């Protein structure tokens, strides 16, 4: 009997789509924070950010479903939530499981923002970098298309975008802090003695 590659093709496609959507989610979040698109209202970027987050999780669910239904490798339902249970490139598939779990926690935190407090919610959002790094590692080292130049281009573009916007965010925060310190010094110097 000939092997039907449908689910293996779906696994690969949904994995790449999920990675693209995760990248879009991170980019939207960083765009919101850096205000790189000043003409776009922050509420609009926030809506895109939340929507992309949900779409990324749906794509990951499709990826997981296709993995379970495919007979190329054996993936059980517990293996989708417990790192280390997949026999195929175990370490690198574990990175994908962890990325999924972190993505789900961060997405759910949108609904819990007021309960956990805005400050804690923002701190939790730093885990997005863990999800992105885990998904990138998973895709590069467990993905069967990673040896192709086009796939490497997808990962390189995603990493370049996230690193560039993160650098911009850090530089912007430093500049804002420096301006605040200078303004405070100027106020102190101008105060009557």
Per-residue pLDDT at 46: 85
Per-residue pLDDT at 1: 53
Q: Is the pLDDT of residue 152 over 60?
A: yes
Answer with the residue of higher pLDDT: 50 or 1.
50
Indicate the pLDDT class of residue 33, thresholds 50, 70 and 90. confident
- Distance, first Cα to last Cα, the chain: 92
pLDDT digits (tens, 9 = 90+) for 46-103: 889 999 999 999 999 999 999 999 988 899 999 999 999 999 999 999 999 999 999 9
Indicate the pLDDT class of residue 37, thresholds 50, 70 and 90. low
State what percent of residues in the chain have pLDDT above 90: 68
pLDDT digits (tens, 9 = 90+) for 119-132: 999 999 999 999 99
What is d(CA 37, CA 55) in angstroms, rounded to the nearest whole number?
A: 22
Least confident of 31-35, 107-111, 119-123, 130-134: 31-35
pLDDT digits (tens, 9 = 90+) for 174-192: 777 776 656 556 655 555 5
State the chain's mean pLDDT as an integer.
89
Per-residue pLDDT at 186: 61
């Amino acid at each position: 009997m000939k092997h039907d590659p449908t689910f293996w093709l779906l696994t690969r496609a949904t994995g790449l789509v999920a990675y693209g959507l995760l990248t879009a989610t991170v980019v939207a979040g960083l765009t919101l924070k850096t205000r790189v698109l000043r003409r776009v209202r922050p509420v609009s970027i926030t809506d895109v950010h939340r929507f992309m987050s949900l779409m990324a999780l749906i794509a990951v669910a499709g990826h997981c479903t296709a993995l379970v239904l495919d007979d190329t490798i054996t993936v059980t339902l517990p293996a989708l939530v417990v790192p280390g249970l997949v026999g195929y490139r175990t370490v690198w598939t574990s990175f994908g499981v962890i990325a999924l779990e972190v993505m789900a926690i961060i997405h759910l935190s949108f609904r819990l923002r007021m309960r956990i407090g805005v400050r804690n919610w923002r701190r939790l959002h730093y885990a997005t970098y863990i999800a992105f790094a885990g998904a990138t590692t998973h895709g590069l080292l467990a993905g069967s298309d990673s040896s192709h130049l086009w796939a490497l281009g997808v990962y390189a573009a995603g990493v370049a975008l996230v690193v560039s916007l993160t650098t911009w965010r850090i530089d912007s925060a430093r500049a804002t802090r420096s301006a605040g310190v200078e303004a405070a010094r100027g106020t102190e110097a101008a105060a009557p003695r």
